[in-house]
């Protein structure tokens, strides 16, 4: 997972080289590894009973939250992006007692059979540029020890990048070779932190179904309540969602609604790409823009200041764990 806070990127800059990642349609015909899908009941049971363990299925659910390490474009959430993310990908392990997520937006639950843990850490350590190269990281056979530490930090109320969630690096190649069955569910988080993004989850689900020739019911589309019981319920499209900053949406097929929500909130709102609802009663356009900025305050973007956090972790790291 990738910590940052200061910059908004152009959607054009997010496009990945086609040579680095096979197109979803191509992947759907070449991948042969498949396994039985998790039911909603099984997902909730794993979430409810998860506890620190070296066995992933006993530890909890492995989730990847949208962090812009994915392929750009609608439905790109399920596909790791180019370069290093073809080798490794950042996830977290969550359960009822350890519910911390990187962002309260949208994500995917990864099927346990598709998870090959490479390393882990109880805090964010900006893995995007180092993978599992750092000495302070927990090796795969120390996953339980890492999760015990993560549980302590979350129970103590750790915030932000200092332990609100753990970081579990998985083998991206194994995950990709099992698509689409490596995706147990697509979900958005229904929390009080103001980052819920149902449109991202709905778009991702629709594109996953389209790309692999699935039926909508083949992939679960869920709403998640962190720490809740049950933790996951089926998404009700008729439910009216109060999405902070959600008054802006895309008007181009290759731009996601979530991009417009994030960028328009900080004044980067090209009319050719996005449109926003009119100002609320009693406010002008400037007031409306300021309201969106307040609603988006605190939502993180990984591509700024990552190196500084990595250096700080290096200085604070304990001796090498075996």
Euclidean distance between CA atoms 34 and 15, whole angstroms: 28
For residue 225, what are the contacts with CB-CB under 8 A and spacing of at least 6? 189, 190, 191, 231, 232, 233
Collect all residues with Cβ–Cβ distance below 8 Å to 278 and sequence separation of at least 6. 288
Q: Is residue 318 part of a domain?
A: no
0.75 surpassed by pTM: no
Q: How many domains does the chain have?
A: 2
Beta-bridge mates of residue 186? 108, 221
Structural domain including 298 reads 243-304
Q: How confident is the model at residue 83 (pLDDT cuts 50, 70, 90)?
A: confident
Please say if the pLDDT value at position 171 is more than 90: yes
Average pLDDT over residues 222-243: 79
d(CA 187, CA 13): 26
Check whether residue 257 and residue 226 sit in a common domain.
no
Cα separations (Å) of 317 from 2, 13, 158?
18, 33, 17
Residue at which a domain ends, from 203, 236, 269: 236
Question: Is there a domain that residue 74 lies in?
Answer: yes
In a domain, 257, yes or no: yes
- Shortest CA distance to 175 belongs to which of 106, 79, 107, 92? 79
pLDDT tens by residue, 267-317: 667 888 888 766 555 556 666 555 554 444 333 333 333 344 445 555 555
Same domain, 184 and 249: no
**Would you say residue 161 lies in a domain?**
yes
Element (H, E) at 64: strand 61-65
User: Both 228 and 126 in a single domain?
Assistant: yes
315 lies in some domain? no
309 in a domain, yes or no?
no
């Amino acid at each position: 997972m990738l910590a940052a806070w200061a910059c908004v990127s152009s959607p054009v800059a997010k496009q990945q080289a086609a040579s680095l990642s096979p197109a979803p349609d191509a992947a759907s015909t070449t991948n042969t590894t498949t396994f039985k899908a998790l039911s909603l009941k099984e997902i909730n049971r794993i979430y409810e009973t998860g506890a620190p363990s070296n066995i992933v299925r006993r530890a909890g659910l492995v989730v990847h939250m949208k962090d812009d390490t994915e392929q750009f474009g609608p439905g790109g959430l399920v596909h790791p992006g180019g370069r290093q993310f073809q080798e490794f990908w950042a996830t977290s392990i969550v359960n009822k007692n350890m519910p911390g997520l990187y962002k309260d937006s949208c994500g995917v639950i990864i099927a346990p059979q598709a998870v090959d843990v490479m390393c882990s850490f109880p805090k964010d350590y900006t893995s995007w540029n180092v993978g599992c190269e750092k000495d302070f990281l927990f090796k795969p056979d120390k996953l339980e020890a890492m999760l015990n530490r993560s549980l302590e930090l979350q129970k103590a109320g750790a915030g932000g990048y200092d332990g609100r969630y753990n970081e579990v690096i998985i083998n991206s190649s194994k995950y990709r070779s099992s698509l689409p069955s490596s995706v147990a569910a697509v979900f958005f988080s229904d929390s009080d932190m103001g980052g819920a993004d149902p449109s991202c989850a709905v778009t991702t689900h629709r594109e996953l179904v389209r790309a692999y020739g699935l039926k909508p019911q083949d992939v679960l589309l869920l709403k998640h309540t962190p720490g809740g019981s049950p933790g996951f319920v089926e998404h009700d499209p008729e439910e009216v969602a109060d999405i902070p900053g959600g008054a802006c949406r895309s008007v181009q097929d290759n731009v996601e609604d979530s991009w417009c929500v994030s960028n328009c909130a900080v004044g980067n709102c090209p009319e050719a790409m996005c449109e926003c609802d009119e100002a609320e009663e009693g406010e002008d356009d400037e007031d409306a823009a300021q309201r969106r900025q307040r609603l988006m305050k605190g939502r993180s973007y990984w591509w700024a200041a990552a190196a500084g956090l990595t250096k700080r972790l290096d200085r604070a790291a304990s001796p090498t764990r075996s």
